Amino acid sequence: MIKPTYSIIIPVFNEEEVLPSLFPRLEALVSRLDASCEVLLIDDGSRDRSPEIITKALASFPWLRFIRFARNFGHQAALSAGYDFAQGDAVVCMDADLQDPPEVVVEMAQRWREGFQVIYGVRNARAGETLFKKFTAWSYYRTMRSLARIDMPVDAGDFRLLDRNAVDALRSIRERNRYLRGLVAWIGFKQCSVKYDRAGRAAGETKYPLRKMLALAFDGILSFSSVPLRTALILGFVVSGLSFITGIAALVVKIGGWYTVDGWTSLAVLVCFIGGVHLTVMGLIGEYISRIYDEVKARPLYIVAENRGGP
Ligand code: UDP
Ligand code: MG
């Protein structure tokens, strides 16, 4: 079979409820695109029936490819695998839960034909998401933008189209704590965005609990910014400066003979406070070191257990 023009990457983690409604939407998309298309479903170690459902679908859809991970390696690893296996000249990522409407891909493809190399899907509205998620996402994208010195588009998730050149550039970055949104902004190229309304999840529950969301947010900030380290340093300076002044004041009071209170409380508070600052700063440094450790081990980003379908 000839190489497809478009590749669509979809990470799947315990998505048995949405898969049945996903296939017809994909089929419609594949027929609407102006050139050949392959769809890569990357099963990120699902523990439900998703792998069986996809394996069955392989027989009915010639454009479908199925890659199964040996265990759950996480959304970003699944996307990375997608970029590694995709053969198309334009590669689109989207979520399995139909929150990123497949129809928008047609619009992205038009912009790609116009010569853009990185096309972001930017969220207009976020239906069916909690106020908490909307607020945290809103503030996170803006904090990230002011901390990291790269021009990251706000409100753009992992729904995007990349040209082959951009994909190859992205693939040359093999860092382990990946924050693809940042990396995509970092590689540059001719970028533009397509606005879309983010739908609610078609079925099932979110596979991004708060724990995973926080981990991703942390990866984003720590791998693109050393501002937190600098803040730790400044905090250290401020606190030691204050301690120094307090020390001088204590001496003056003592020498002047005004020293009457036994002053245990202030001492205890000071010791606790400085201890707390120490621990925070050490923990912060530890976060960076643990990331360095991960990089040094240089383990593969994911392990593929099965690779089926497609050309
Ligand atoms: N996902 C994954 N591995 C994980 C968690 C999620 O591959 O460990 C996939 C999931 O199947 C979906 C996409 O990542 O296709 C986005 O997840 P979800 O829709 O649950 O996140 P949300 O939209 O709630 O942020
Ligand atoms: Mg979702």
Arithmetic mean of pLDDT, 235-262: 78
82 and 197 inside one domain: yes
Question: 128 near 44, Cβ under 8 Å?
Answer: no
Arithmetic mean of pLDDT, 260-276: 74
In a domain, 186, yes or no: yes
273 and 130 inside one domain: no
User: From atom 17 of ligand 1, which residue's Cα is the shortest distance away?
Assistant: 207
Q: How confident is the model at residue 109 (pLDDT cuts 50, 70, 90)?
A: very high
Mutational test site, ligand 1, from 208, 214, 301, max ligand atoms within 8 Å of CB: 208
Residues of the domain holding 263: 227-297
31 and 171 inside one domain: yes
Q: What is the pLDDT of residues 30-72, one digit of tens each?
A: 988 888 899 999 999 999 999 999 998 888 888 999 999 999 9
Q: What is the pLDDT of residues 141-175, one digit of tens each?
A: 788 777 777 677 777 788 999 999 999 998 888 88
In a domain, 221, yes or no: no
236 and 187 inside one domain: no
Domain count, the chain: 2
Relative to the alpha carbon of 95, which ligand is closest?
1
190 and 70 inside one domain: yes
129 and 202 inside one domain: yes
